[in-house]
Amino acid sequence: KAGVTQTPRYLIKTRGQQVTLSCSPISGHRSVSWYQQTPGQGLQFLFEYFSETQRNKGNFPGRFSGRQFSNSRSEMNVSTLELGDSALYLCASRGGGGLSGANVLTFGAGSRLTVL
Amino acid sequence: SQKIEQNSEALNIQEGKTATLTCNYTNYSPAYLQWYRQDPGRGPVFLLLIRENEKEKRKERLKVTFDTTLKQSLFHITASQPADSATYLCEISGGYNKLIFGAGTRLAVHP
């Protein structure tokens, strides 16, 4: 079955602009989570959505927001971009069945954002 | 605060040797611990999951141990190959919504 698809793969923005990233989870997966990855900080949890509801949120400013649609596709938005927002943004989905499957994440390839 | 630490220095080993990566955590009691592999420019890929009541889990050349007393997991790759070169991440899960990753350890296997 198809994996997690993220678009766009690469994008360049300037400070002050806003950006929207998209994620299509594995078919049947209802949980989608977002992570920011930078060389210095590693993988930082942004938020998780389940059935269109934000279920958990990391320690990021309000400029970072997200949503999930009824088909489980998710978007995240970053407003008023700063240089420090340059990072690889990863989306992951997970299924809900079984002890082993419940917590295993399947990641997309990521969206590489560069802020100039 | 809850913290998860992995060797920040890259690990360089010779082909054929066993690579051992460490994951330590504090202020947490995870129900599961998982290891992922990440190649440059790609998302992490799940490798192994070990539960808190399991001491060891194996999959082909991979072995993971989980010591809840030491709050530590060790990840071993036996008979390492250059293709094993990547960054390896550990992640702890405890409670359905709580997922915390370490920063990862870069492994380089030299021919």
Reported as a single tens digit per residue, the pLDDT across A65-115 is: 999 999 999 999 999 999 999 999 999 998 754 444 556 889 999 999 999
| Interface contact flag, B98 A56, Cβ < 8 Å | yes
Asked which of A50-59, A96-105, B62-71 is least confident by mean pLDDT, the reply is A96-105
d(CA B40, CA A26) in angstroms, rounded, equals 22
Query: Which of chain B's residues have a Cβ under 8 Å away from the Cβ of A48?
Result: 97, 99
Scan residues 22-41 of B and list those with Cβ closer than 8 Å to A: 32, 34, 36, 41
3-state secondary structure of A37: strand
pLDDT average, residue stretch B29-54: 90
Beta bridge partners, B4, equal B25
Residue labelled with tokens 């592999």: B37
What percentage of chain A has pLDDT greater than the value 90? 72
d(CA B111, CA B104) in angstroms, rounded, equals 23
By CA distance, what is B50's nearest residue in A? A100
Q: Tell which wins on pLDDT, B97 or A26.
A: A26
Residue A97: predicted pLDDT:
47
